[in-house]
Amino acid sequence: MSNYFSELKNKTVIVTGSSKGIGKDIALTFAKLQANVVISGRNQKDLTATLTELQKHNSKCMAVCGDLSSIEEVRTLIDQAAAEFGTIDVLINNAGINIAKPAMEVTEADWDTVLDLNLKTAFFASQAAARYMLEQKNGRIINIASQMAFVGYVKRAAYCSSKGGLVQLTKALAVEWAQQGIRVNAVAPTFIETEFTAKMFENKEFKNDVDRRILLDGLAQPEDISGAVLYLASNLANFVTGETIKVDGGWTAI
């Protein structure tokens, strides 16, 4: 048991959208295993604070500030990580956004913002990382999808579309790159208890509806998502590709 995940030591792990929330928890999980973690985000102050935490576990972790809605900045992130560490072993596409509006109020700009970051950025980050992984004949890509890829919900038309597309993208890339040693999988969380969702759950009607749909007690914690990601990045998942693991407390089981 103590040897599990030891293979991740010194691996290069990129986590997009990782200055806060579940991205930060995922990054910390890998840093504690001595992986060389590269975090990214738009807020330099938050990135610096998170990097300080990571470097308590592995001094070789690094941060790259940038707006990942720009594909050029996506490519820069991947290239800087490769230049620093020599390999790209694990890419975790966590950066994402939701604009919660009734479908009749969604603007073209809203739609493009959600689809671009949640789906387009994930594809081009995967493409950029795969350039290195194909040369290595090895690599893991893990997309953070959502239970909303499998069910509908109010004020989530763009979000559900983007995450449904991400699950299908996961399958498409898994099929295309399997023979080259790249495994592509996804994790689909339910609502998670973070600083981002705290304000959302001040709406008691919404909170009660979510509680009713989750079969297990309470909300998911960031470490619940990190555990699934860690499994997919490790040798325990060597024969898994094209799969999406739902971490939804039973929401989609009904």
- The DSSP code sequence of 172-221 is HHHHHHGGGTEEEEEEEE--B-SHHHHTGGGSHHHHHHHHHH-SSSSPBP
Tokens of 60: 């070789």
Can 159 be counted among the known catalytic residues? yes
For residues 38 and 81, the answer to whether their CB atoms sit within 8 Å is yes
Is 229 within 8 Å of 142 (Cβ atoms)?
yes
pLDDT at 1: 40
The CATH number covering residue 63 comes to: 3.40.50.720
Tally of domains within the chain: 1
**CA pair distance 223, 48, nearest whole angstrom:** 21
The rounded distance, in Å, linking the Cα atoms of 182 and 107 is 37
The whole-number pLDDT of residue 158 equals 98
Q: What is the mean pLDDT of each run of 10 residues along the chain (254 residues)?
A: 85 96 97 98 96 98 96 98 98 96 98 98 98 98 98 97 98 98 98 85 93 94 96 98 98 94
The first and second tokens of residue 17, run together, are 């959208």
Q: Decide if 62 is inside a domain.
A: yes
- Asked, for residue 173, whether it belongs to a domain, the answer is yes
pLDDT at position 2, please?
Answer: 55
Answer whether residue 253 is part of any domain: no
Domain that holds residue 149: 6-246
User: For residue 206, which of 196, 217, 220, 191 has the smallest C-alpha distance?
Assistant: 191
Which helix H or strand E contains 172, and what residues bound it?
helix 157-177
Q: Is residue 1 part of a domain?
A: no
Collapse the DSSP code of 251 into the 3-class scheme (helix H, G, I; strand E, B; otherwise coil) and give the result: helix
pLDDT at 81: 98
Q: Which amino acid is at 126?
A: S
3-state secondary structure of 185: strand
Which amino acid makes up residue 9?
A: K
State how far the Cα of 62 lies from the Cα of 54, in Å rounded to an integer: 9
Find, among 23, 19, 111, 24, the residue nearest to 65 by Cα.
Answer: 19
Question: Quick check: is 15 in a domain?
Answer: yes
- The secondary structure of residue 219, as a DSSP letter, is P
**CB hemisphere CA count around 248 (13 angstroms):** 22
Structure tokens at 155: 């004020």
Q: Which of 4, 153, 159, 231 is catalytic?
A: 159
Evaluate whether residue 252 is within a structural domain.
no
Does any domain span residue 251? no
